[in-house]
Amino acid sequence: MAGFQHDQTKKRLKLVVGIVTGVLLIGGVTGAMLFSQAQEEAERKAAAIEAQRQAAEQELLRMKREFEVAQKKEEELRASLSSAQDDIERSKIEKQLAEAKRARQAAGQRMRTGGGKGKSGGASAPCNCQPGDPLCTCL
């Protein structure tokens, strides 16, 4: 009778060890899969953020070039205004200078506000971030 009792205890122990081992294996595999998915999601988010940062950087460079071109045109018009010989030419250059000044100011304003691209899609508050700030929410 004691041998039979001992065999039953061994069988029960083997069954419990088998069940615990199975649960641990399933839990480990599930945990590894969840960790892998979370890692992939984090990589996708990081890639999207990096792409957005690069796009914003390219846009800022484009706006800076636009501002510099407008500023250069304004300087050229100022130089030609000083060398203008008659009043008709001078008034024509002054009109062009006024237009160039408005274009430069508009380009400067777009550069300061990030191109007018707010997250809401409508009118947005002016951006007070330093250029190139990775934590700026204006982009």
Instruction: Give residue 92's pLDDT.
Output: 84
* Tokens of residue 11, six digits: 């069988």
Distance CA 134, CA 139 (A): 9
Q: Which domain holds residue 77?
A: 26-110
pLDDT at 1 over 60: no
Reported as a pLDDT band with limits 50, 70 and 90, residue 3 is: low
Q: Is residue 102 part of a domain?
A: yes
- The stretch 70-79 carries a mean pLDDT of 84
Report whether 103 contacts 70 (CB < 8 A).
Answer: yes
Please state, in angstroms and rounded to a whole number, the distance separating the CA atoms of residues 125 and 136: 13
Residue 18 has pLDDT above 70, yes or no: yes
pTM: 0.51
Residue 103 included in any domain: yes
3-state secondary structure (DSSP) of residue 46 = helix
Higher pLDDT, 103 or 121: 103
Query: Does the residue 6 lie in any domain?
Result: no
- Tell me if 115 is assigned to some domain: no
Closest by CA position to 63, among listed 107, 99, 106, 102: 107
Rounded (5°) CA angle 69-72-78:
145
Q: Is the pLDDT of residue 61 over 70?
A: yes
Long-range contacts of 48-55 (CB under 8 A, 24+ apart): 52/139, 53/134, 53/139
Which residue intervals of the chain are DSSP H helices? 2-82, 87-112
Give the count of domains, the chain: 1
pLDDT at site 139? 61
List Cα–Cα distances, 89 to 70, 73, 76, 95, 138, in angstroms.
Answer: 21, 17, 15, 10, 43
50 domain-assigned:
yes
Residue 60 token pair:
């800022």
Q: What is the mean pLDDT of residues 9-28?
A: 94
